Structure 1
Amino acid sequence: MGESLYHHLDWLHGIELFEAAFSTQTFSKHAHEGFAIGAIAEGVGGYLCRGETMALPTGSLSLMNPEEPHTGYAATPWLRYNMLYASEAAICSVLQLRSLRGFSTVAPKDRGRAISKGLSALASALHAQKSRDWHLRVEEAVYDVLSQSFVRYGNAHLPPTGREPRAISTLKERIFAGVAVGEDLSLSSLAEGVGLSASYLIRATRRQTGLTPHGLVLWARIEQAHRLLLREIPAAEAAYMAGFYDQSHMIRQYRRHYGVTPGAVIRHS
């Protein structure tokens, strides 16, 4: 059934992710120094908070403000959830906000399961440490969870993005050049290279291209792998040279992009 894991992101303001999986674990009344953002992935969780006993079925969110006392337990034989912990300073830094209003609702329904998916994506990213651009992928996943949570449930207003054609063009050039030489790209270096904040860069890139910076990096790696395969470089070697975790990772991404596996590409001369 899996085991509980606790991730501490030392380089990213000490933000943490708890992958909880248990049946008998209980938590006595306690509080967290920072915000806690969680989503029930399987089973039903329960706790006492704000004088009310609550049951949180699969698909529910748990949104705790700092220093909010609560208990916690599994209300079903098996419970699995993901919970992100972050200080107000960390969140303001990631989202480029001056302050936070906090959450008014403790256990809202996760509309469209957006935050559940975001937390799952973060957990998946944290288990892919051997892949290049790992920090970039994790940073974007954290940004996604925080921005969705505070815009939807914390009355946060992120600065609007304008069109940034020059910055996005420079970003693409920087990414393709970095991929070509095997560079491990980070969000901070990409943002610094175009003179934008990391938060703004993610939103502006998505608005103009439909992809995040990590999405552009992945696209560049797929194109690099395609060129190598056309030169009859073996698939395993092409995957490594293009910066993929392994051959199977490259094949999955290649198929999503081209609609076929590398083995189905016929080179005519």
Structure 2
Amino acid sequence: MSGGRTGARVSAWRPAVAGIAESFHAHFAEHAYPVHTHDTWALMILDDGCVDFGLDRHRHGAAGLGTVVLLPPGVPHDGRTVGARGFRKRVLYLEADVLPERLTGAAVDIPVHRDALLHHRIGQLHGALGDVRPEVEAGGGAGAGAGAGLAFEAESRLALVRERLLRHLRALPARDPGPPPGPLAEALRELLDSRIATGISMDEAAGLLHAHPTHLIRAFTRRYGIAPHAYLTGRRIDRARRLLLAGRRPAEVAASVGFYDQSHLNRHFTRHLRTTPARFAASWEGGRFLRDGAE
């Protein structure tokens, strides 16, 4: 995070998630971008304030929660704050092949989308990326095998975001509906159960099961009432509970069930059980339950 007397707070990283070149968060009290281009799609959500920008020699304004801005690769644009409050934004720079190049014209014509659901889904994607280590750190170490597992949620959410963007650009391709939801969902569940510790990418799962990623996600969710990434996390937490009660240390458990390290295990474990792995492991001592122990 950077700041200082510039009136700006900025953080950026490159998640180890296919299709995402950079995640960028910023709060600008006063700022004007010069005209520039990107070699990626810039997908922005506003969390507060207003912004004025020029795209291909036309001015646009974006304001209010629920506003999404999509800027295509290679098209000149600028941007500036509007009002004394400035603006807060979160931006995903998506690799050029995430959306078809032929949609550039449609994106130039309509760069601003007021879509609360799309805004929410992008926000969820940003949240998922917070659990994914930067790409430069993802190549090795005891938790390297957890990379695919932690990226699985982000890849799933990116697939849903991409689908909705295609709908906005009136370009959702027709496709074979694929296998019925029941058998397909069961096949994905078996695949996830076999990859609890090592994880799997959404692209690999879709390839193995011969189904489009979004169809795969929806089939699983309809069948079991839970998203695939949430199911996988729950299975990991269940396995962690057993290992902790068997006397294994939290740091050791984290790596063996598919998390990067103890801090990632702590975050998900606490979200599920409202207590840390260490406290859970100590929740039964000398024939008595500790106050904040688990069920």
- TM-score if structure 1 supplies the norm length? 0.74
Give yes or no for contact 1:36–1:84 (8 Å, CA) kept in 2: yes
**For 1:89, which of 77, 84, 97 is the aligned residue?**
97
Which among 11, 24, 28 is matched to residue 34 of structure 2?
28
Q: Are the equivalent residues in 2 in contact too, given 1:38–1:62 (CA < 8 A)?
A: yes
Cα distance, 1:236–1:163 mapped onto 2, change above 3 Å: same
Local SS of the residue matching 1:239: helix
Alpha-carbon offset, residue 218 of structure 1: 0.8
1:241 paired to 2:256: yes
Aligned to 1:51: 58
Equivalent residue of 1:196, what SS?
Answer: coil
The aligned amino acid for 1:243 is G
Residue 201 and residue 52 in structure 1: after superposition, are their counterparts in 2 closer, same or farther (change >3 A)? same
Aligned equivalents of 1:251, 1:6: Cα separation in 2? 24
Deviations 1:68-90 (A, max 9, x none): 44320223454331223335633
**Aligned-partner Cα distance in 2 for 1:14–1:53:** 25
Distance change >3 Å, CA 208–CA 37, structure 1 → 2: same
- Is the CA contact (8 Å cut-off) linking 1:162 and 1:204 kept in structure 2? no
Counterpart residue type for residue 97 of structure 2? A
Distance of aligned partners of 1:146 and 1:253 in 2 relative to their CA distance in 1, 3 Å threshold: same
Which residue does the alignment assign to 1:111? 116
Alignment RMSD: 3.7
| Greater fraction of residues in strand | 2
Task: Tell me which amino acid in the other structure corresponds to 2:123.
Answer: K
Pairing partner for 2:192 from 159, 175, 186: 175
Structure 1 residues 26 and 111, CA gap change in structure 2 (3 angstroms) = same
Question: Which has the higher mean CA deviation after the structures are superposed, 256-265 or 237-246?
Answer: 256-265
- Offset, 1:105: 3.1
* C-alpha distance after superposition, 1:182-203 (max 9, x if no partner): 3242223323332334343233
Distance 2:156 2:262 in 1: 24
Cα offsets for 1:203-262 (capped at 9, x unmatched): 322332233332222122012112213323334433332223444543443454456665
Does residue 190 of structure 2 align to residue 190 of structure 1?
no
Which residue of 128, 132, 135 corresponds with 2:151?
Answer: 135
Per-residue CA shift, 1:162-200, capped at 9, x if unaligned? Answer: 633333223222322222xx3242223323332334343
Match of 2:67 among 60, 73, 78: 60
- In 1, Cα distance between equivalents of 2:102 and 2:224: 30
Counterpart of 1:54 in structure 2: which amino acid? G
CA distance in 2, matches of 1:231, 1:134: 25
Shift of 1:37: 1.9
Q: How far apart are the structure 2 equivalents of 1:99 and 1:213?
A: 31
Structure 1: segments with no counterpart, 5+ residues:
93-97
Task: Give the whole-Å Cα distance in 1 for the aligned partners of 2:71 and 2:77.
Answer: 9
In the alignment of these two chains, the number of paired residues is: 260
CA contact (8 A) 2:47 2:90 kept: yes
Who is 1:102 aligned against?
106
* Closer/same/farther in 2, CA of residues 231 and 74 from structure 1, 3 Å limit: same
Secondary structure of the residue aligned to 2:112 is coil
Calculate percent identity across the aligned residue pairs. 23
Q: Which residue is 2:226 aligned to? A: 211
Aligned partner of residue 18 in structure 2, secondary structure: coil
Change (3 A) 1:42 1:206: same
Q: TM-score, normalised by structure 2?
A: 0.69
CA distance in structure 2 between the aligned counterparts of 1:52 and 1:90, rounded to whole angstroms: 26
Q: Look up the equivalent residue of 1:111 and give its one-letter code.
A: A
Give SS of 2:24's match. Answer: strand
Q: Is the 8 A contact 2:52 2:62 kept in 1?
A: yes
